[in-house]
A and B are shown apart, each in its own frame.
Chain A
Amino acid sequence: MIQVGGHGQENPNVHWLGSRGMWFTYLVVMFALHLFLLSIPFLTIPLAWTFTNVIHNTCHFIFLHMLKGAPWEIQDQGAARVLTHWEQIDYGIQYTRTRKFLTIVPIVLFFLASFYTRHDAGHFVPNFVTLMFVLIPKLPQFHRVRLFGINKY
Chain B
Amino acid sequence: MLNAVLAFIYQNLIEAPSYHLYLEAFLALWLFWLIRQRKKAEKKKRLTQEEEQLIINAWQPKPLVDEEVTNMESYDNGGIWGPITGRPGKTVEIDGEKYLNVATHNYLGLLDSQELDDAAEQCIRRYGVGSCGPRGFYGTVDVHIELEEKIARFLNLEETALYSYGFAAVASAIPSYAKAGDIIFADEQVSYPIQRGLAASRSSIIYFKHNSWENLQEELEKQRETDKKNAKKAKTIRRFCVVEGIYTKSGTMCPLKEVTDLCKQYKVRLFVDESISFGVLGRTGRGLTEHLDVDRKDIDFISGSLEHSCASFGGFIVGPSYVVDHQRISGLGYCFSASLPPLLAGSGIKALEIIEQSPEIIQDVQDKCVYMHQTFMNKLTFFRVTSHELSPLKFLSLVGSKVLAYDVIKDLIEQVIIHVKEHHKIALVQPYYLESEHELPLPSIRVSINRLLTYKEIDSIAAAIEDVSNSINLYDSVISNIPTQFEETKADMIKSYEAYLKWKQQNNGITGKEALEQDEVFEPLEIAEDSAPKKIADLHSRN
What residues on A are CB-neighbors of B329 within 8 Å? Answer: 73
Question: In the complex, how many angstroms separate the beta carbon of B200 from the nearest chain A beta carbon?
Answer: 7
Query: 0/1 per residue, B34-65, Cβ < 8 Å to A?
Result: 11011111000000000000000000000000
Query: 0/1 per residue, B279-321, Cβ < 8 Å to A?
Result: 0000000000000000000000000000000000000000000
What residues on A are CB-neighbors of B39 within 8 Å? Answer: 93-96
Contact between chains at B17 and A78 (CB < 8 Å): no
Asked whether any CB of chain B lies closer than 8 Å to the CB of A124, the reply is yes
In the complex, chain A residues 2-22 whose Cβ is within 8 Å of any chain B Cβ: none
Asked whether any CB of chain A lies closer than 8 Å to the CB of B181, the reply is yes
Contact between chains at A119 and B16 (CB < 8 Å): yes
Contact between chains at A107 and B27 (CB < 8 Å): yes
Contact between chains at A95 and B27 (CB < 8 Å): no
Contact between chains at A94 and B40 (CB < 8 Å): yes
Interface residue from B15, B175, B202 paired with A118 (Cβ < 8 Å): B15
Asked whether any CB of chain A lies closer than 8 Å to the CB of B232, the reply is yes
Asked whether any CB of chain A lies closer than 8 Å to the CB of B421, the reply is no
Question: In the complex, how many angstroms separate the beta carbon of B382 from the nearest chain A beta carbon?
Answer: 47
Asked whether any CB of chain A lies closer than 8 Å to the CB of B115, the reply is no
Q: Is the interface of B mostly helix, strand, loop or mixed?
A: helix
What residues on B are CB-neighbors of A25 within 8 Å? Answer: none
Given A77-B180, A79-B180: A124 and B34 interface contact (C-beta under 8 Å): no
Asked whether any CB of chain A lies closer than 8 Å to the CB of B325, the reply is no
Q: Tell me the bound Cα distance from A113 to B16 in angstroms.
A: 13
Contact between chains at A78 and B182 (CB < 8 Å): yes
Q: Tell me the bound Cα distance from A152 to B231 in angstroms.
A: 12
Asked whether any CB of chain B lies closer than 8 Å to the CB of A82, the reply is yes
What residues on B are CB-neighbors of A94 within 8 Å? Answer: 37, 39-40
Contact between chains at A78 and B179 (CB < 8 Å): yes
Question: In the complex, how many angstroms separate the beta carbon of B335 from the nearest chain A beta carbon?
Answer: 9
Asked whether any CB of chain A lies closer than 8 Å to the CB of B505, the reply is no
What residues on B are CB-neighbors of A79 within 8 Å? Answer: 180, 202
Q: Tell me the bound Cα distance from A128 to B27 in angstroms.
A: 11
10 contacts between A and B (CB under 8 A): A77-B200, A78-B181, A78-B182, A81-B179, A81-B181, A94-B40, A96-B39, A111-B24, A114-B24, A124-B20
8 closest cross-chain pairs (CB), A and B: A78-B179, A78-B180, A119-B16, A95-B37, A94-B40, A77-B202, A153-B233, A119-B20
Binding site for B on A (CB under 8 A): 73, 75, 77-79, 81-82, 93-96, 100, 103-104, 107, 110-111, 114-115, 118-119, 121, 124, 128, 140, 152-153
